[in-house]
Amino acid sequence: MFFTPSTIAAAAIFLTATSVSAGRRLGKRCTGTISSLDDVSAAVECTTVTINAFTVPAGEQFLLDLADGTTVNVEGDVTFAFSEWAGPLFEIEGSGVTFNGNGYTFNGNGPSYWDGLGSNGGVTKPKFMKVKNSGVFKNLIVLNSPEQAFSIGNDDPLTIDGITVDDSAGDATNSASDGLPAGHNTDGFDVSASNVVIQNSIVKNQDDCLAINKGSNITFQNNQCSGGHGISIGSITSDVTVSDINILNNEVSNSVNCLRIKMDSDASDSTVSDITYTGNVCTTITGYGVLIDQSYPDTLGTPGTGVILSNVEFTSGNTVSVSSGADEVDVNCGSGACTGTWNWSGLTTSGGDAGTINYSGITGYPNSGTVTTTKTTTTTSKTSTTTTTTKATTTTTTTKATTTTSTTATSTATGTVAEYYQCGGTLYSTVKTFTII
């Protein structure tokens, strides 16, 4: 076969076009500068992008659809003007991207939206940061999220490093929040992706610090969480796989929960496996220290059986201290839905009620290995915008006799603790009545 110069040239053009389209696109060796949304389309043609201080107009999205290998440097604060819409306010896409916030701030203008309802009603609130790039995203302050701060949804490797999510202003009430904290559903990191590392970050909010909804090979390490609902896997819905999750060396304080796996009671055909907790320290936990519950959105209600949970391990150095009246550990598995032997020798708890464990496959933790039949139940009534949950705790009196010593000691305390939870995007108000004898 003979090739003419014209056929060789045509083949070369075809191969070049194919190689570019198979990836994303090749950028130009230039620096693009963004000082308004009008600058974005030209700037993203370059492999270096600089973001200066500016305000994103109300109801518009700041979208960076970047060329392969682009480096983005933030050189000023970016503020997003108020508008009722779904968002996200900011979205980034690209392969092998390095985004460096350089300590500057993206301000979501949360107080203009917050009404204590989050996504349950009231003002329509946009999600803030949608991250779909691979590479590195680092050194940014995310201030006053209207709702969820980060939504992560790309399976190519991504490292998020040195982020501060500060929604602490949402702890206060305002004229629209009816006595509740004004911020709600302000999740720090919602992950529906694989091959993600989130590290060295700070989250101050009113909901989950981390919520892993699906994905594998996810590491959450050396982070600080306060004010919210702790570190969560879930809620797990139907047809979802979560596996190979490492929760390492994090600090959780002043939160409703510390470490939680929440699975929808009506979910089916889902699996959660190989969850490892190491070196996590939790203090001032007001609800539940460790909560594994297959009855979501209820808490410790009737568990479902459609999510198979296996290999949940506490390997070393996990210390959970809860407040008086809170539960240290609760495990609420549906029949046959929790499997295997779970080594919990690396978990130490203190400060509150022991809680209830209904799965006998746990080893190495005090009170584990024997199923406790006493269970706290939850009754839930809902309206279209709010939900009220009453949690009635049954007190069990246990008499223990020995052949050498007879000791009787009685100390009784009663009280009521009001707590607020986010369940499946719905606001729950829980009244926890307890009697300690």
Question: Quick one: pLDDT at residue 160?
Answer: 98
229 is catalytic: yes
Per-residue pLDDT tens digits for 145-172? 999 999 999 889 999 999 999 999 999 9
Per-residue pLDDT tens digits for 179-190? 999 999 999 999
Give Cα 297 to chain centroid, integer Å. Answer: 16
**Residue 421 pLDDT more than 50?**
no
Question: Quick one: pLDDT at residue 408?
Answer: 34
pLDDT tier, 418 (very low <50, low <70, confident <90, very high otherwise): very low
Question: Quick one: pLDDT at residue 388?
Answer: 36
207 is catalytic: yes
**Residue 434 pLDDT more than 70?**
no
Mean pLDDT of the chain: 85
Provide the terminal-to-terminal Cα distance of the chain, rounded to the nearest Å.
93
pLDDT tier, 37 (very low <50, low <70, confident <90, very high otherwise): very high
Check 166, 229, 293, 327 and give the catalytic one: 229
pLDDT tier, 366 (very low <50, low <70, confident <90, very high otherwise): confident
Structure tokens at 83: 């508008």
Residue-wise over 250-289: b if at least 16 C-beta within 10 A, else e?
bebbebbbbbbbbbbbebeebebbebbbbbbebbebbbbb
**Residue 409 pLDDT more than 70?**
no
Per-residue pLDDT tens digits for 274-296? 999 999 999 999 999 999 999 99
pLDDT tier, 25 (very low <50, low <70, confident <90, very high otherwise): confident
**Residue 395 pLDDT more than 90?**
no
Residues with Cβ within 8 Å of residue 200, at least 6 apart in sequence? 161, 162, 222, 223
Check 187, 207, 293, 298 and give the catalytic one: 207
HSE on the CB side for 71, CA within 13 Å? 7
